[in-house]
């Protein structure tokens, strides 16, 4: 998975898009990248943007424009991910992704392809939907409380994480803390703009690319946690929440949850 915090550089120094291209060619050298525009209400424009962006690397892209659950449940929706090297989810509204695609033939094809080794990438809304439990909405720059964040089921590619995007730019640490307080077994991952995490499940590693930082919240050792007793608007009390701030050249072991310097 390549999970992008949004507003990735597309034409100046497109490090993250180059990374997606390299991974796609590593998996299936001559195959195209499928671009899914379901999250956007301007799907054609969104596709054209990424068609132009990836063309600078000589990577062919094909559109997957699914707008309804009926379309996502047709047999050709399953075929959309055949013979592609990767799939890229554009930004927009993550609830459109899950409500249109969740539980459909396309969703099952995506999970099957992911297990088979395909590259799955997404930016902004396309990042949030990667996890099993997804941040749907929430108040930024507010004290962490139960009502700071609204969550719903995601697409389930990364089962033990909860992801937030545009992280530092929109001051979203409070809502990510609230999300982890309610799901302390999940790894909280807050990704800045023009920044991405590359997750390789086979090696159990996460590495960082791009110009910003990734905030990791590990709540497994959380001691005090009043989220079940507090009123919806009451500030949370949390203790022993482990935080890591990682930038380009660093990563995280997803088993031990210990950071490391990435030798590459």
- 54-73 pLDDT, tens digit per residue, is 999 999 999 999 999 999 99
Residue 262 lies in a domain: no
Query: Can you give the residue range of the structural domain that contains 204?
Result: 2-257
Residue 264 lies in a domain: no
SS3 label, residue 10: coil
Beta bridge partners of 103: none
Q: How many domains does the chain fold into?
A: 1
Residue 52 has pLDDT above 70, yes or no: yes
CA distance 57 to 136: 33
Instruction: Provide CB contacts within 8 A for 246, sequence distance 6+.
Output: 208, 213, 214, 216, 252, 259
Residue 264 has pLDDT above 70, yes or no: no
- 119-166 pLDDT, tens digit per residue, is 999 999 999 999 999 999 887 777 888 888 899 999 999 999 999 999
Supply the CATH number for residue 23's domain: 3.40.50.880
CA distance 153 to 45: 28
Say which residue the tokens 């047999």 belong to: 75
Residue 263 lies in a domain: no
DSSP state of 131: B
The residues assigned a catalytic role are: 124, 142, 166
CA distance 4 to 126: 8
Say which residue the tokens 């960082």 belong to: 208
Q: Which pLDDT band, with edges at 50, 70 and 90, does 184 fall under?
A: very high
């Amino acid at each position: 998975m390549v999970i992008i915090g949004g507003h990735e550089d597309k034409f100046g120094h497109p490090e993250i898009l180059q990374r997606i291209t390299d991974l796609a060619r590593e998996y299936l050298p001559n195959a195209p990248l499928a671009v899914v525009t379901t999250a956007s209400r301007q799907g054609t424009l969104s596709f054209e943007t990424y068609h132009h962006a990836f063309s600078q690397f000589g990577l062919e892209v094909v559109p997957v424009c699914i707008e309804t659950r009926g379309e996502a449940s047709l047999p050709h929706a399953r075929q959309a991910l055949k013979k592609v090297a990767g799939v890229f989810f554009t930004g927009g509204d993550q609830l459109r992704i899950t409500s249109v695609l969740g539980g459909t033939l396309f969703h099952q094809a995506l999970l099957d392809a992911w297990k088979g080794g395909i590259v799955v990438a997404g930016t902004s809304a396309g990042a949030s939907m990667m996890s099993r439990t997804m941040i749907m909405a929430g108040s930024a720059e507010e004290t962490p409380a139960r009502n700071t964040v609204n969550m719903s089921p995601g697409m389930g590619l990364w089962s033990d994480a909860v992801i937030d995007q545009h992280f530092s730019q929109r001051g979203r640490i409070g809502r990510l803390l609230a999300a982890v307080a309610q799901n302390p077994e999940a790894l909280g991952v807050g990704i800045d703009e023009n920044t991405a995490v590359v997750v390789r499940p086979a090696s159990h590693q996460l590495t960082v690319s791009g110009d910003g930082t990734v905030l990791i919240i590990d709540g497994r050792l959380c001691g005090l946690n009043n989220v079940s007793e507090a009123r919806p608007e009451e500030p949370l009390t949390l203790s022993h929440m482990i935080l890591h701030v990682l930038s380009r050249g660093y990563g995280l072991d997803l088993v031990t949850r210990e950071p490391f310097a990435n030798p590459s």
